[in-house]
C-alpha cells in the first residue's frame, strides 16, 4: 500500500486543463499534464483494498492499486510494465476514458475517488518521454495470416496482440488514415493525433501491416480475403447514425454530428477539404440535439468555429449533483458532469423534445420548434409527457444530430459475409469471439454497439486470444472478458 494514511492526508485534486480563453482559440489538446510532484500524493490516496472494486469497474482489469503504489514510490519503469500488462493503449484511455474504475473506487463511498485516470496517463506519458515504449516484435513466426477489418481501438488491440504472438497481421481500413473514431471522430482538442501516430509507429515497427482506402466488401472482395487469410476479424465499429425523422429534417443546415466532426478532423490533419463537404458553425445559431459525448464534441468544435450561440438539447431530466438512492456505489454514477467543452460555454437544455425544423422559405433551417416534457416512470416503464403551452422556437442556422448510433452498417461487409446479427442489429459472436461463420471473428462496437474505447481495447484483447486459440489449438494471450 502506497501510504497508510494517504486517503486521510490528501484531498483529491482536479485534472489541470489549459485556460478556456486560450484553448478555444486553437485545436490543441485541452487537457494539461499533471505535475509529477503532486501525483504521488494522489496515488497515495489509494487504500490497496482487499477487494479492489476499481478492478471490477475497469473492463480491462487494470492492476490499479499496484501502479498507484509504484507511482507513489516513484518506480515509473515498473509502473508502465504493470500498466501495459493489461492495456495496449493507456494513453487513449488515460486521455479519453470516462473512468468507470473511478466510479467503482471504494474511496468513493464517502469521499472523492482516487484520480486513477490521471495516474494512468502520467505513467504512459512518462514512459514515452523516457523512451521506454519500444517496438516488441515477435520472437517467432507462426506463419498464420490474419486480416483485421477496421482500425479503431478494437482492431488495433487485436492486431498488436496477435502480431506479438507471432502471427502475420494486416489491418484493412476504408478511410485514408488509420485510427477509426480516434482519428476522424474524436476531435483534436480532446486527443491530439500525434498521440495516435506514435503508437502506430510502434505497431508498424513490430510488423503490423496497415492498408488504407481498403473498403472490405466494396473495393476489396471479402470472400477472397477469407480465402487468403487464416482468420478474418470484423472490427468495423457501429457507425450507423440514429436519425430524427421530424418535419423539416431534409432542410439545408440539418446534419449528422459525424458529418460535422469528420471534415474538421481532416482539416486538423492539414488536408484540403472541398468547401461543400465542410460544415461551418461560424456566426451561426447552432443547436446540438443529443446530450452525450458526441454532442459535447460538436459543442467544442462549434466554439472553435466561433458560433453565435450554441444550445445542446437533452430529452432526459437534468441529472442530480450526487448519486440518487437508486444509483448506489459501485454503479457508474449518473450525475451532472461538466465536460471541457461545456466549461467553454453554450447552454444545455434538459427535458425538451424537438418537434420540427422550421424553413426560412428558401429550404434552409431557420429555427427549431421544441416543447418541454416531463419524464414519468410507471410500473418500470418510462414515458414522456409534453407540458401544455411549452411549445416555442429557438433560432437555428445549423442543427447537429448527435443521437447515438443504431449499430454497424450492413451493406458491403456484413451482408456479403452473411454473418448472423443480434436483435439489436450488432454482429453476433460466440464465447470465443467467433461469428456464425467459421474463422470469422468480431470485437468492439461492431458486436457491442457504440460504446467506449476501454471496452473496444478489452474486447480486442479478448478476441485476440480466441483467434490465437483457433489458429494454434491453445493460447497464452490474456483475455480480460469472457
Contacts with ligand FAD, residue ranges (CB under 6 A): 96-97, 149-155, 172-175, 180-181, 185-186, 190, 214-217, 235-237, 239, 261, 293-294, 297, 412-413, 444-446, 450-454, 456
> Which stretch in 105-113, 250-258, 332-340, 385-393 sits in contact with ligand SF4 by CB under 6 A?
105-113
Residues 244 and 287: beta-carbon distance below 8 Å: no
The grid coordinates listed for 406 are 443504431
Per rule CB under 6 A, is residue 52 in the interface with ligand SF4? yes
Rounded to whole angstroms, how far apart are CA atoms 189 and 192?
A: 6
Rounded to whole angstroms, how far apart are CA atoms 48 and 327?
A: 25
Residues 354 and 370: beta-carbon distance below 8 Å: yes
CB of 98 to ligand FAD, least distance (A): 6
Q: Report the site for ligand SF4 in 299-318 (rule: CB under 6 A).
A: none
Residue whose C-alpha cell is 478555444: 24
**Nearer to ligand FAD by C-beta: 336 or 384?**
336
Any residues with CB less than 8 A from the CB of 389 and at least 6 apart, and which?
Answer: none
Per rule CB under 6 A, is residue 79 in the interface with ligand SF4? no
Residues 406 and 241: beta-carbon distance below 8 Å: yes
CB of 89 to ligand FAD, least distance (A): 11
Residues 358 and 248: beta-carbon distance below 8 Å: yes
Binding mask 116-155 for ligand SF4 (x = CB under 6 A): x---------------------------------------
Residue 288 contact partner, candidates ligand FAD, ligand SF4, none, CB within 5 to 8 A by sort of partner: none
**Nearer to ligand SF4 by C-beta: 68 or 462?**
68
**Nearer to ligand SF4 by C-beta: 64 or 367?**
64
**Nearer to ligand FAD by C-beta: 106 or 279?**
279
Residues in the chain: 482
Among 83, 105, 158, 352, binds ligand SF4 (CB under 6 A): 105
CB of 236 to ligand FAD, least distance (A): 3
Among 6, 23, 44, 53, binds ligand SF4 (CB under 6 A): 53
Residues 395 and 367: beta-carbon distance below 8 Å: yes
Comparing C-alpha atoms, which of 368, 370, 372 is closest to residue 360?
368
**Nearer to ligand FAD by C-beta: 233 or 358?**
233
Residues 98 and 334: beta-carbon distance below 8 Å: no
Residue 48 contact partner, candidates ligand FAD, ligand SF4, none, CB within 5 to 8 A by sort of partner: ligand SF4
Q: What is the largest CA-CA distance in the chain?
A: 71
Rounded to whole angstroms, how far apart are CA atoms 388 and 405?
A: 31
Per rule CB under 6 A, is residue 60 in the interface with ligand SF4? no
Residue 169 contact partner, candidates ligand FAD, ligand SF4, none, CB within 5 to 8 A by sort of partner: none
Alpha helix (H) ranges present in 31-89? Answer: 36-44, 53-57, 64-72, 76-84
Residue whose C-alpha cell is 480465402: 227
**Nearer to ligand SF4 by C-beta: 112 or 372?**
112
> Which stretch in 42-50, 184-192, 300-308, 460-468 sits in contact with ligand SF4 by CB under 6 A?
42-50
Per rule CB under 6 A, is residue 181 in the interface with ligand SF4? no
How do strand 392-395 and strand 365-378 relate by DSSP bridges?
antiparallel
> Is residue 271 left, alpha or beta, with left meaning phi > 0 and alpha meaning psi from -120 to 50?
beta
* Radius of gyration (C-alpha) of the chain in whole angstroms: 23
Comparing C-alpha atoms, which of 82, 83, 72, 80 is closest to residue 37?
72
Per rule CB under 6 A, is residue 49 in the interface with ligand SF4? yes
Q: Count CA within 13 A, CB hemisphere, residue 14.
A: 7
**Nearer to ligand SF4 by C-beta: 45 or 429?**
45
> Which stretch in 99-107, 216-224, 315-323, 352-360 sits in contact with ligand SF4 by CB under 6 A?
99-107
Comparing C-alpha atoms, which of 266, 304, 308 is closest to residue 26?
304
What pairs with residue 311 in β-bridges?
287, 347
Residue 91 contact partner, candidates ligand SF4, ligand FAD, none, CB within 5 to 8 A by sort of partner: none
Alpha helix (H) ranges present in 356-452? Answer: 413-417, 445-448
The grid coordinates listed for 435 are 461469428
CB of 479 to ligand SF4, least distance (A): 22
Among 63, 107, 191, 414, binds ligand SF4 (CB under 6 A): 107
Any residues with CB less than 8 A from the CB of 417 and at least 6 apart, and which?
Answer: 217, 222, 223, 226, 234, 435, 437, 440
Per DSSP, 3 falls in state: -
Number of chain residues interacting with ligand SF4 (CB under 6 A):
15
Residue 444 contact partner, candidates ligand SF4, ligand FAD, none, CB within 5 to 8 A by sort of partner: ligand FAD
Per rule CB under 6 A, is residue 54 in the interface with ligand SF4? yes
**Nearer to ligand SF4 by C-beta: 2 or 80?**
2
CB of 47 to ligand FAD, least distance (A): 26
Residues that bind ligand SF4 (CB under 6 A): 46-49, 52-54, 64-65, 68, 105-107, 114, 116
Amino acid at each position: 500500500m502506497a501510504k497508510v494514511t494517504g486517503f486521510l492526508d490528501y484531498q483529491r485534486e482536479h485534472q489541470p486543463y489549459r485556460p478556456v480563453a486560450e484553448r478555444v482559440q486553437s485545436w490543441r489538446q485541452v487537457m494539461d499534464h499533471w505535475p509529477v510532484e503532486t501525483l504521488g500524493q494522489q496515488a497515495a490516496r489509494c487504500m490497496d483494498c482487499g477487494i479492489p472494486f476499481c478492478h471490477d469497474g475497469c473492463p480491462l482489469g487494470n492492476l490499479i492499486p499496484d501502479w498507484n503504489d509504484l507511482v507513489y514510490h516513484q518506480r515509473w519503469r515498473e509502473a508502465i510494465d504493470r500498466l501495459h500488462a493489461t492495456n495496449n493503449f493507456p494513453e487513449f484511455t488515460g486521455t479519453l476514458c470516462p473512468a468507470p474504475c473511478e466510479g467503482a473506487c471504494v474511496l468513493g463511498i464517502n469521499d472523492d475517488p482516487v484520480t486513477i485516470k490521471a495516474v494512468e496517463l502520467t505513467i504512459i506519458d512518462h514512459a514515452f518521454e523516457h523512451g521506454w515504449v519500444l517496438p516488441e516484435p515477435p520472437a517467432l513466426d507462426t506463419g498464420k495470416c490474419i486480416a483485421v477489418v477496421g482500425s479503431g481501438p478494437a482492431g488495433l488491440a487485436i492486431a498488436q496482440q496477435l502480431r506479438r504472438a507471432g502471427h502475420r497481421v494486416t489491418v484493412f481500413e476504408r478511410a485514408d488514415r488509420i485510427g477509426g473514431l480516434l482519428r476522424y471522430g474524436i476531435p483534436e482538442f480532446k486527443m491530439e493525433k500525434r498521440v495516435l501516430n506514435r503508437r502506430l509507429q510502434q505497431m508498424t515497427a513490430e510488423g503490423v501491416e496497415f492498408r488504407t482506402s481498403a473498403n472490405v466488401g466494396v473495393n476489396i472482395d471479402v470472400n477472397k480475403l477469407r480465402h487468403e487469410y487464416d482468420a478474418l476479424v470484423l472490427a468495423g465499429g457501429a457507425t450507423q447514425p440514429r436519425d430524427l425523422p421530424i418535419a423539416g429534417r431534409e432542410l439545408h443546415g440539418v446534419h449528422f454530428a459525424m458529418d460535422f466532426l469528420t471534415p474538421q478532423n481532416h482539416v486538423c490533419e492539414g488536408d484540403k477539404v472541398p468547401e461543400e463537404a465542410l460544415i461551418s458553425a461560424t456566426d451561426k445559431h447552432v443547436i446540438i440535439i443529443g446530450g452525450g459525448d458526441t454532442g459535447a464534441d460538436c459543442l467544442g468544435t462549434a466554439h472553435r468555429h466561433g458560433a453565435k450561440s450554441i444550445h445542446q438539447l437533452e430529452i432526459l431530466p437534468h441529472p442530480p449533483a450526487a448519486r440518487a438512492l437508486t444509483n448506489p456505489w459501485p454503479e457508474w454514477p449518473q450525475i451532472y458532469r461538466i465536460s471541457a467543452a461545456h466549461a467553454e460555454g453554450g447552454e444545455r437544455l434538459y427535458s425538451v423534445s424537438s418537434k420540427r425544423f422550421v424553413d426560412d422559405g428558401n429550404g434552409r433551417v431557420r429555427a427549431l420548434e421544441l416543447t418541454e416534457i416531463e419524464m414519468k416512470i410507471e410500473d418500470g416503464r418510462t414515458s414522456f409527457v409534453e407540458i401544455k403551452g411549452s411549445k416555442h422556437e429557438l433560432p437555428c442556422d445549423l442543427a447537429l444530430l448527435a443521437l447515438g448510433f443504431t449499430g454497424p452498417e450492413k451493406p458491403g461487409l456484413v451482408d456479403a459475409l452473411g454473418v448472423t446479427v443480434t436483435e439489436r442489429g450488432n454482429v453476433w459472436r460466440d464465447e470465443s469471439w467467433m461469428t456464425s461463420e467459421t474463422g470469422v471473428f468480431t470485437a468492439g462496437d461492431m458486436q457491442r454497439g457504440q460504446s467506449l474505447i476501454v471496452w473496444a481495447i478489452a474486447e480486442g484483447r479478448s478476441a485476440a486470444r480466441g483467434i490465437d486459440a483457433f489458429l494454434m489449438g491453445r493460447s497464452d494471450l490474456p483475455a480480460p472478458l469472457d
